[in-house]
Amino acid sequence: MADLRFDAREVTNQSPPYEDVDLYGSDAALIQAVKANGAGGEGKALSAFGRHWGRAAMFAQAKFANENPPRLDGNEVEFHPAYHAFMAESVAAGLHVMTWKADGARAAAPAEVARAARFYMVAQVENGHMCPITMTRAAVAVLAADPALLASLMPKIASRSYDRSFQPWRDKSGMTLGMGLTEKQGGTDVRANTTRAVPAGEGYRITGHKWFMSAPMCDAFLVLAQAPGGLTCFFMPRFEPDGSVNGLNFQRLKDKLGNRSNASSEVEFADAFALRVGDEGKGIRSILEMVQLTRLDCAISSAGMMRMALAQALHHARHRTVFQKKLSQQPMMVSVLADMALEAEAALALTMRLARAFDGAAANPAEAAYARLLTPAVKFWVCKRAPPFVYEAMECLGGNGYVEDSTLPRLYREAPVNAIWEGSGNVMCLDVLRVLAREGDVARGMIEGLGGEAKDLPGAEGAAVSICKALAGAQAESHARLAVEQLALLAAAAALRKSAPPAVVEAFARTRLAGPRGATYGAALIDSHEAAALLDRALPG
């Protein structure tokens, strides 16, 4: 008689976990973008970094850090040990400081690209802890306005030792910095800030609140407040000069959609001690360079999340059989994945190209102009593309993609924040318009130059003309989203030209700049042979 028993424990046709991977060596687009943007010499170090961060243990730690969010305990925040472990890793790797020299001056090229490549790999594993890492590195740009203060802080900021202890920064082996700009009544509109600063003794006393202040266990914060001379930037340490705890009173931690390993607080300042950074009334100017750097990081981080989502989807498709064939051999799934591979590579190429502009800005006015015009455009496009991208990757895994065991739900919750903080989408487009208003000829020359770099590619020259027209027209603000999106696509085509094989560049331009395409991934005309090559490039089989 036949044995009719059924063993439900037997697991078949499920993909193995995507772990113990080499995040650098398995990413041909990253290797080539790093080389194309001047950091080819970093290859060996990046390879070691990619293997280290791609270990199964790292993915497991990321899960712990996000499943066990921080808790407010009095005026201190308690984090899960996994969060501290990530902080220690990223600080030891210098991600919070490697673009600065020991004295706080800019490090030589290709420091930005070398860091961007690492940051992109870290973003594939754990995102929450990257918030204080980003803020610490960007804060140095603001502190440069006060050379004496910067000189006293740099030995602690430049330290590769993560010191989680709660004590004055002078007594610690290393420090991190946060920022408090956003208030209840005004985030984007910081001019509406009501927090007040009154000169007192060697510094100021600050009274007011911040509606969002992330990573509240940082050792100090750059804070905007209204001084007698207007909106001003301040350095506010967690401890007073006499060693007592400073007047930062945390009200609660936000209950956020994602970004759960990171703490974001509401805080009141009660006569808190702070030092002025830069002149009174120059607060907005002080923070401008800082937000350019954090915006670059938002884009890199979103590109990294897209990469992880793509890798998970592709890995699954290569293991899962449906209708007697692997998903990776089903023509429509191949179209979806290939279209996603194009988008992910473009996001990467664009962010690495932008990082190179930061590397070159001090010595080359054209690179500085590129950074001014393209930072908001790249932040806008890449960060906006990440959430629907992660969603599509989730669907590639079918039901498994919706379950926490795959990392897709966490990535899906994490993805929108990069588009919101550090200037939301519309604000980025307004920033592009501002650059055009201030330096129209240079910016228009830059856009035409991008059209020239992408010359011969389908749709490129027409795109350059229509971007300039739209951004200069009477309806510029109303039409800005379309024009800025096109600007990012044109810049991506130009960036890909330097780092990707001609077939990838052509397919990107044909499906993005020349159309036609639909609203979903896979709704573009990519032939099957072309798609197969894109998938081979995206992840070794």
Ligand X SMILES: Cc1cc2nc3c(=O)[nH]c(=O)nc-3n(C[C@H](O)[C@H](O)[C@H](O)COP(=O)(O)OP(=O)(O)OC[C@H]3O[C@@H](n4cnc5c(N)ncnc54)[C@H](O)[C@@H]3O)c2cc1C
Residues in the site for ligand X, rule: CB under 6 A? 178-182, 187-189, 212-214, 256, 259, 264, 417, 420-427, 430
> Is the distance from CB of 355 to CB of 37 less than 8 angstroms?
yes
Least Cβ distance, residue 429 to ligand X (angstroms): 8
Instruction: Decide whether 344 or 383 has the Cβ nearer to ligand X.
Output: 383
Planar angle of CA 182, 169, 71, nearest 5 degrees:
55
Classified as helix, coil or strand, 489 is helix
b/e map 486-512, b = 16+ CB within 10 Å: bbbbbbbbbbbbbbbeeebbbbbbbbb
Least Cβ distance, residue 280 to ligand X (angstroms): 20
Report the largest interatomic distance among the alpha carbons of the chain, rounded to a whole angstrom. Answer: 94
Least Cβ distance, residue 177 to ligand X (angstroms): 11
CA distance 152 to 131: 23
Q: Quick one: 93 exposed, middle or buried, by C-beta within 10 A (0-12, 13-18, 19+)?
A: buried
Task: Give 416-443 as a DSSP string.
Answer: THHHHTTS-HHHHHHHHHHHHHHSHHHH
Least Cβ distance, residue 138 to ligand X (angstroms): 11
Instruction: Decide whether 274 or 334 has the Cβ nearer to ligand X.
Output: 274
Q: How many angstroms from the chain centroid is the CA of residue 510?
A: 27
Instruction: Decide whether 188 or 194 has the Cβ nearer to ligand X.
Output: 188
CA distance 368 to 304: 24
Instruction: Decide whether 178 or 208 has the Cβ nearer to ligand X.
Output: 178
Q: Which amino acid appears at position 120 of this protein?
A: Y
Rounded CA Rg of the chain: 24
Least Cβ distance, residue 156 to ligand X (angstroms): 20
Least Cβ distance, residue 129 to ligand X (angstroms): 13
Kindly give the interhelix angle for 460-472 and 440-453, rounded to the nearest 10 degrees: 160
Least Cβ distance, residue 115 to ligand X (angstroms): 21
Instruction: Decide whether 187 or 458 has the Cβ nearer to ligand X.
Output: 187
CA distance 307 to 538: 9
Instruction: Decide whether 143 or 509 has the Cβ nearer to ligand X.
Output: 143
Instruction: Decide whether 38 or 304 has the Cβ nearer to ligand X.
Output: 304
Instruction: Decide whether 178 or 360 has the Cβ nearer to ligand X.
Output: 178
Planar angle of CA 204, 179, 246, nearest 5 degrees:
45
Least Cβ distance, residue 71 to ligand X (angstroms): 17
CA distance 451 to 453: 6
Q: Residue number with the shortest CB distance to ligand X?
A: 187
Least Cβ distance, residue 387 to ligand X (angstroms): 14
CA distance 307 to 347: 9
Instruction: Decide whether 423 or 458 has the Cβ nearer to ligand X.
Output: 423
